[in-house]
Amino acid sequence: MTMNAVEQAVLEHEVGDVAPHLCIRSGTRIDGGRWWRRVPVWLLVLDDEVVLLAAGRRRFVGRIPFTEAGESHYDHQKGVLVLAPCEGLPVNHVAVNVSDAIRVLRFMGLNT
């Protein structure tokens, strides 16, 4: 799945010309300022950080350095990638399939 124009603009504003290693549209949705719809959270893996991004009238961008997410893991029961201990973010878990979660964790240098 590809990003729409608004999501792409937010991405370019946040990371510039840097091409992410992974760009995954998660099943997690948050309030983006639309009346009846929530907006999807994108999970992007850069060289040394994970970026969570959602674009709507209100945008959400969370940047998590790999060094601050050493306890990250995949919760099989809930089907979410938990980015831990990142407690300061309003979203610290994203719904992704297990193969995408494994790819993200491997980029982060964590054993899967």
Higher pLDDT, 6 or 108: 108
Q: Is the pLDDT of residue 73 over 70?
A: yes
Does residue 45 contact residue 20 with C-beta atoms inside 8 Å? Answer: yes
- pTM here? 0.90
Amino acid at 16: G
Which class is 5-107 in CATH?
Answer: mainly beta
Give the pLDDT band of residue 112 (cuts 50, 70, 90).
Answer: low
Mean pLDDT of 50-66: 90
Q: How many other CB atoms are there within 10 angstroms of residue 11's CB atom?
A: 20
